[in-house]
Amino acid sequence: MQSGLILINKKTGVTSFQALGEIKRALGTGKVGHTGTLDKFASGLLVVLAGSALKLAPWFSHCDKQYEGRICFGVETDTLDPEGSVIAESAVPVREKVEQALSQFKGKILQEPPIFSAIHVNGRRASSLARSGEKPEMKKRPVEIYKLELRGWEPPFADIFVHCSSGTYIRSLARDIALAAGSRAHLCALTRTRVASFTLDMSGKDISPLPITKTVIAALGLPYFEITLDETEKLIHGKPLEPILEGKELFSQGETSPATESFSAAVFAGETLAAIVERSTGGWKYRCVIGH
């Protein structure tokens, strides 16, 4: 079957899982998955992997992301989006208060995820617990907001641009901005415009998987090795990595940020991705083998 990367523009009103249906039918396989959920009310870029490329999901899911969102002040819902029930109301703040609040959420912050989310609490999804009437305890998690701008203000609506780390909930950000401005709010619209260096305008009607090239690997911030076809056979059969990679140059395109103790790298045979490997204090080890 075909393997690779597919960029789609998810429409509002469908879940991320439902958006995969057409791709699964076209490719004739269920071996398709997205690399970061977009809520049903949201739209925008959904990065999809098919076939053996699904093994790369952990690296895609940790990419930074960019969004354009609309906050509706004055009303907070239990889901923090338009589909929830109203749980609090407040006066709409003035623009100056909103701008002051935005400045508090730039950089590294601790964020409490929404109770209606896929995060597991005591072995169950928080959203399942919330729907059954329970109120799960959502522990705050570190995230980073690289850029946060007010792009439009038509009370009670504020249009924002967000560039953030993986794991950031824009619904929670809307809630917290409102609280800091002395109000309440929910996120009434959201569009994901970028994942790593993949942009929304790269998506199209063609759902044929794109190969995982060195450019794609560079977008993930990974360096790469180049090996011969003979060495690829050794790699596929799980032979020790050190003799295969010994003396090989580690290439990088753009920015890569390997940690000092452990980092990942791709291995290419010509233009074909063969594996992802990881270096630790004990040397190189396999993370996943992609195949021929």
Catalytic residue among 39, 78, 81, 176: 39
Residue 176 annotated as catalytic: no
Bridge-based pairing state of the strands 65-73 and 185-195: antiparallel
Reported residue count of the chain is 292
Angle value at C-alpha 179, between 111 and 186, nearest 5 degrees: 80
Positive/negative CA dihedral, 211, 201, 145, 137: negative
Q: In what order do the strands lie in the sheet with 263-269?
A: 224-227, 263-269, 272-280, 283-289
Query: Could you give the residue ranges of the DSSP H alpha helices within 62-163?
Result: 95-103, 126-131
Q: How far is CA 248 from CA 56, 219, 224, 232, 245, in A?
A: 23, 22, 10, 14, 5
- Residue 80 contacts residue 41 (beta carbons within 8 Å): no
Residues annotated catalytic, as ranges: 39
